[in-house]
């Protein structure tokens, strides 16, 4: 058996001829006016007096490099803002054209034929042909559309991880530690014994008719409670970022858009570290008390934290869980 996968070329695509060019001596203001007039987001930059393609100027580049920098668009030349990308020709592989755009994170690449500009190809045009070139054979569970399944799997994992690790402890469904109020009088600085169980949640300790914000414990018990509050705030912020990055990178995979490893791995890993630190800070806070109270771990809270960490890891390494079905690959194989 040998693998025979059809190769697609730029000539197989519908070349976009609804484009325009702009002289390399033109200003960014000229480019913006032309984009507005023609209703296009990109212009191919050609060398003044020739048909040599120098690059492409995009509306996003104007916003990012000129408007956001408070530069005068009348004074800035298009050559200072454009991105430089090697044009393709009609016989260039679609995968190669796609990779050039993907590596630069741009949307358009010029197409040349016999030294003349004949149009442009967008990354969306090329993307629709790219999945036919690859087969995902890494993973445990065979599925028909690995990228789509991985996107939904990672999204669901990240949502449940945020709920179990942050939202539920924040809302008081379960906490981190608990103890009898009578054993915690020195911690709260009170001589009144009302009994009842005290649960330690994300920002405060709760009991029957008793609430103590952690910041109120700093004066009696040291700055460790400040660290707990700060870490709890970071858990919420980074948790939201974590959810966004997992969904964003999963969607990027479905569109074959390259997402950096920093986005895909660092933020989820930081979220895991914060979860571990939260438990560690509570442990330090109780160990350093002048009198040693009887404190117990909330087993439900600990279990949910462990489950959350597992879900985060599964979301991060979703590529190793699902793979393409053999039947799909076999359609591309011939004896």
pLDDT for 103 equals 87
Tell me how far apart the alpha carbons of residues 56 and 102 are, in angstroms, rounded to a whole number.
Answer: 15
Give the residue with greater pLDDT, 307 vs 322: 307
Give the range with max mean pLDDT: 139-143, 265-269, 289-293. 265-269
Question: What pLDDT, in 10s, does the model give residues 132-177?
Answer: 445 556 667 777 777 888 889 999 999 999 999 999 999 999 999 9
Place of tokens 């809302």: 171
**DSSP character at residue 64:** I
The model scores a pTM over 0.75: no
Query: Is residue 212 within 8 Å of 204, Cβ to Cβ?
Result: yes
Query: Is residue 168 within 8 Å of 275, Cβ to Cβ?
Result: no
What is the average per-residue pLDDT within 16-32? 86
Q: Are strands 210-213 and 204-207 parallel, antiparallel or unpaired?
A: antiparallel
pLDDT tops 60 at residue 98: yes
- Residue-range domain boundaries for the chain: 2-132, 141-324
pLDDT for 244 equals 92
* CATH architecture type of domain 141-324: Up-down Bundle (1.20)
- 2 pLDDT band, cuts 50/70/90, is very low
Angle formed by the axes of helices 299-316 and 224-254, nearest 10°? 30
pLDDT tops 70 at residue 178: yes
Give the residue with greater pLDDT, 331 vs 231: 231
Query: Which fold does the domain 2-132 belong to in CATH?
Result: CBS-domain (3.10.580)
- Least Cα distance to 97 among 70, 131, 123, 118 occurs for 123
39 - beta bridge partners? none
What is the average per-residue pLDDT within 31-51? 88
Percentage of the chain lying above the pLDDT 70 cut: 85
Question: What pLDDT, in 10s, does the model give residues 221-264?
Answer: 889 999 999 999 999 999 999 999 988 888 777 766 666 666 77
Tell me how far apart the alpha carbons of residues 247 and 253 are, in angstroms, rounded to a whole number.
Answer: 10
Whats the size of the chain, residue-wise? 335
3-state helix, strand, coil in the chain (%, to 5): 50, 20, 30
The reply to whether domains 2-132 and 141-324 share a CATH topology is no
């Amino acid at each position: 058996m040998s693998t025979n996968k059809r190769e697609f070329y730029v000539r197989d695509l519908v070349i976009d001829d609804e484009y325009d060019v702009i002289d390399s001596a033109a200003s960014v203001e000229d480019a913006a006016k032309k984009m507005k007039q023609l209703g296009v987001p990109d212009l191919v930059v050609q060398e003044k007096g020739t048909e040599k393609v120098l690059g492409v100027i995009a509306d996003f580049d104007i916003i990012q490099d000129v408007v956001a920098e408070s530069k005068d668009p009348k004074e800035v030349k298009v050559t200072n803002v454009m991105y430089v990308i090697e044009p393709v020709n009609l016989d260039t592989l679609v995968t190669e054209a796609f990779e050039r755009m993907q590596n630069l994170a741009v949307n358009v690449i010029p197409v040349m034929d016999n030294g003349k500009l004949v149009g442009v190809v967008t990354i969306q045009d090329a993307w629709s042909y790219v999945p036919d070139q690859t087969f995902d054979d890494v993973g445990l569970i065979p599925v028909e559309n690995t990228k789509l399944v991985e996107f939904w799997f990672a999204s669901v994992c990240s949502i449940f991880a945020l709920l179990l690790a942050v939202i539920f402890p924040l809302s008081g469904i379960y906490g981190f530690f608990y103890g009898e109020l009578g054993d915690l009088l020195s911690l709260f600085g009170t001589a009144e014994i009302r009994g009842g169980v005290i649960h330690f949640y994300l920002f405060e300790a709760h009991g029957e008719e008793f609430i103590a914000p952690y910041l109120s414990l700093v004066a009696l018990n040291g700055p460790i409670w400040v660290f707990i509050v700060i870490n709890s705030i970071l858990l919420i912020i980074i948790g939201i970022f974590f959810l966004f990055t997992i969904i964003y990178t999963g969607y990027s995979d479905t569109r074959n858009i390259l997402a950096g490893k920093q986005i895909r791995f660092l933020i989820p890993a930081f979220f895991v570290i914060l979860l571990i630190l939260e438990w560690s800070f509570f442990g330090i806070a109780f160990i350093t008390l002048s009198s040693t109270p009887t404190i117990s771990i909330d087993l439900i809270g600990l279990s949910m934290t462990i489950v959350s960490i597992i879900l985060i890891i599964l979301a991060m390494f979703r590529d190793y869980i699902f793979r393409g079905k053999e039947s799909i690959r076999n359609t591309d194989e011939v004896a």
